[in-house]
Amino acid sequence: MSEQTRGGRWGRLLSQFVRFVVVGGSGVVVNMAVAVVMNKLHDGSANATQILFPIPGTDFNFRFSSLVWVVSFLVANTYNYQLNRSWTFRGTQRGWWRGFWQFLAIGAIAALIGMVLKALMLSPGNAITLHGDWFDAWAWRHGGSIPAQLEDACHSPEYVAHALSILVTMPINFIVNKLWTFRGRKPDEAGAVDPLSRDEVQRERV
């Protein structure tokens, strides 16, 4: 393989990675937006720990915060999949639904890990519980100007735990989806987007 061909491969891989990061970043915005809307409709994030129902056979409860996590994940996951399919990994040979269920399965595993992390951060008595003056001594306004609401969000255990859980689980989605969901893309051979020229392909095969 020539240096030019190898450089082209690395260049495409880097471009693909950057696109994935951009999609992931916009997906975080979508995820957080859904979380904000749901909490706003529930009279503010201070009510996020409200118990919706007990989990049978355990001492744990399913809280509104967990519902927010699940719904925001489903919306952002669908958004990320479509954008990754049409932009980041465009040219994949897999059908839409087949790729979607794989993407959803991977995301669900990451989401489960994230939901547990978020629950631990919002539950008292854990090593990762979000507490202290930054969170506990804050006067909630639940309104006012946009900067004031953003300031409130930065002091909200609900929003901080949600954002941290997303950041922790993002690498899982990237690595596994790259290796599994979109592994069927072979632009060098299939002539998809950004293919090698025919001459380069011939040189590679020699």
Q: Where are the domains of the chain?
A: 3-205
Check whether 5 has a pLDDT greater than 90.
no
**Residue 53: Cβ-neighbour burial (10 angstroms; 0-12, 13-18, 19+):** exposed
Q: What is the pLDDT of residues 38-56, one digit of tens each?
A: 999 998 888 898 999 999 9
Dihedral sign for Cα atoms in the order 132, 137, 142, 146? negative
* pTM for this model (two decimals): 0.68
Cα 119 to Cα 151: distance, rounded to the nearest angstrom: 22
**In angstroms, how far is CA 44 from the centroid of its own chain?**
23
Mean pLDDT of 152-172: 87
Answer with the residue of higher pLDDT: 21 or 185.
Answer: 21
Average pLDDT, the chain: 80
Q: Is 185 helix (H, G, I), strand (E, B) or coil?
A: coil
pLDDT grade for 90, boundaries at 50, 70 and 90: confident
Cα 108 to Cα 21: distance, rounded to the nearest angstrom: 19
pLDDT of residue 145: 80
Q: Is 201 helix (H, G, I), strand (E, B) or coil?
A: helix
Strands (E), the chain: 51-54, 61-63
Q: Which residues make Cβ contacts (< 8 Å) with residue 64, sequence separation at least 6?
A: 42, 47, 48, 49, 50, 52
**How would you classify residue 123: left for phi > 0, otherwise alpha for psi between -120 and 50, otherwise beta?**
beta
Nearest 10 degrees: Cα torsion 154, 158, 163, 164: 100
pLDDT grade for 34, boundaries at 50, 70 and 90: very high
Q: What is the pLDDT of residues 106-139, one digit of tens each?
A: 888 888 999 999 999 998 888 899 988 888 766 6
Phi, psi of 188 (to 5 degrees): -65, -30
